[in-house]
Amino acid sequence: MRRVRTLIFVFLIIIIAAVVGFLAYTQYLKPQSTVDQQPAYVEVYIVAQPISMGGKITEGLLSTIKIAPENVVEPMFTKGEEANLLGKVAKFPLDQGVVITSAMVGESAADVEISGPSWATIIPPGMSAMSIPADRFTLAGYAINNGAHVNLTACFLFVDVDPTFQTALPNQTATLVGTGFGTVTSEGTTSEGLPVLSLAVAAQGTPQGKLELDPSLQQPYYLIPSESQRPRMVCQMLLQNILVMKAGEFSREANAGIDTPSAPQTDAEGNPIPTAPPDLVTLIVTPQDSIALSYLLHTDAEISLSLRNPLDDMRQATEASTLQFLLSQYNIPVPAKLPYSLEPYTISFCNLSIGSSEICAPALAPAAE
C-alpha cells in the first residue's frame, strides 16, 4: 500500500514538472511569431492643409495618421521618410486629409501637367511673365538670352506743369478786349437776356514770362522763354536679378518647348529668310513689378537691361543719376566762360551708328553775310 502511494506521488510530481516546463517554454523560450513582432500600426503622411497644383510641399502642410500595417502600400510615405517628400511639388490640387503617394508629387514645377503652353511651368508660383520691347542696346549687344539674369534700368523725363491745366509750362498769354457785362445774343449760348460777363481774345500765343529789373539802367523789362521747356532726365535701376524667360518670340507650334525657334520664314521662291534679331524680351517678375513695367511702357520711358552673373544674387543700393549727381559723383567741372574759344567750334555731338564709316564734322556757325 505504501508502495502504491509512493508511485502516485512520483507521478504527480512528474505531471506538475511537465506543466511548469511547458508554461516556461511557451512564455520565455518559444520564438515570437512574425505577426507578433509587427507593430500594431504605422504612421503615414497626409495633407494637413490644402495644397494647390504646383505648390511646394513643406512640413507645415503635412500631418500623419495611424493605419494597420497590412493597409500600407509602397507608394505611401511613412514616418521617417519625410526627406523624400519635403521640397517636392503637387502635380494636382491636394485636399486636406488625402494620403500622399509618390504619384501625387513631382521633383519640380516642370513635372506638373497643366493646360496651355509648356513653358508656363517655368514661371514660379506668385510670379508672372511680361514682355517689353528690346533692341541690341537693350539686350546688351544680344548677350542677353534665355535664362539670363539681368538688372532693369529706366530713364524718365520730367517737366513742370500747370497744376490746373496739367499742361507744360510756360503758359501762353492772351490779350482780353471787350471785357465787361453785356447781353448774350442769339448767336451765343441760350439765355433770356440775362447779363453775363463777355470778353474776347484779341491775341494769344505769347509764352508767359517774368518781370526783371536791369541792374545797370534800373529799368524793368519782361523776359519770355526763348524755347520750349527742357525736360530734366533721371535714371534709376528699378529691378535687380530678374530672370529672362525668353529673348524673342515664342513658337506657335503645338508641343513646342521654350527653346524651340519659331517657324522659319521663306520668300516667294521658298528660300529661307534669315532670322531677324529679337525685338522683345520676356521677363519673370512679380505682379506688382509687371504693373510698374506697364506704366513705363505707356509713358515711353527708356528701358535698358544689363547682364549679370547668375551666381551673384546680391542686391546693390543704387542712387538715381541726374545731371547734378554726375557732376558731383565723377568730379565733372562746369566749363568756365573764357574770353577765347576753339575754331571751328562744335555745337552738338554726332550720333554715329555703330559700324558706320561716316565722319561727323564739327557743326560750324553760319557764315556772316
pLDDT of 256 over the 70 cut:
no
Q: How long, in residues, is the chain? A: 369
Mean pLDDT of 219-232: 90
pLDDT of 102 over the 60 cut:
yes
How far is Cα 89 from Cα 276, in angstroms, rounded to an integer? Answer: 38
Instruction: Show Cβ contacts of residue 209 under 8 Å, excluding neighbours closer than 6 positions.
Output: 170, 222, 223, 224, 225
- Give the helix/strand (H/E) hosting 21: helix 2-24
Alpha-carbon separation of residue 228 from 183, 225, 299 (angstroms): 40, 7, 20
Q: Torsions phi, psi of 129, nearest 5?
A: -110, 135
How confident is the model at residue 258, as a pLDDT?
67
How confident is the model at residue 368, as a pLDDT?
45
User: 224, 172 in Cβ contact below 8 A?
Assistant: no
What is the percentage of the chain residues whose pLDDT exceeds 90? 32
Question: Before 287, cis peptide (omega within 30)?
Answer: no
Determine the 3-state secondary structure of 8 from DSSP: helix
User: 279, 134 in Cβ contact below 8 A?
Assistant: yes
pLDDT of 157 over the 60 cut:
yes
Residue given cell 548677350 in the structure block: 143
pLDDT of 199 over the 60 cut:
no
- Reported as a pLDDT band with limits 50, 70 and 90, residue 369 is very low
Mean pLDDT of 301-329: 93
How confident is the model at residue 38, as a pLDDT?
58
Residue-wise pLDDT tens digits, 326-359? 999 999 999 999 999 888 887 776 654 444 444 4
How confident is the model at residue 237, as a pLDDT?
96
Is 281 exposed, middle or buried, given 0-12, 13-18 or 19+ CB atoms closer than 10 A?
Answer: buried
Residue-wise pLDDT tens digits, 110-152? 666 666 677 787 888 789 999 999 999 989 999 999 999 999 9
User: 280, 249 in Cβ contact below 8 A?
Assistant: yes
Mean pLDDT of the chain: 80
More confidently predicted of 69 and 181: 69
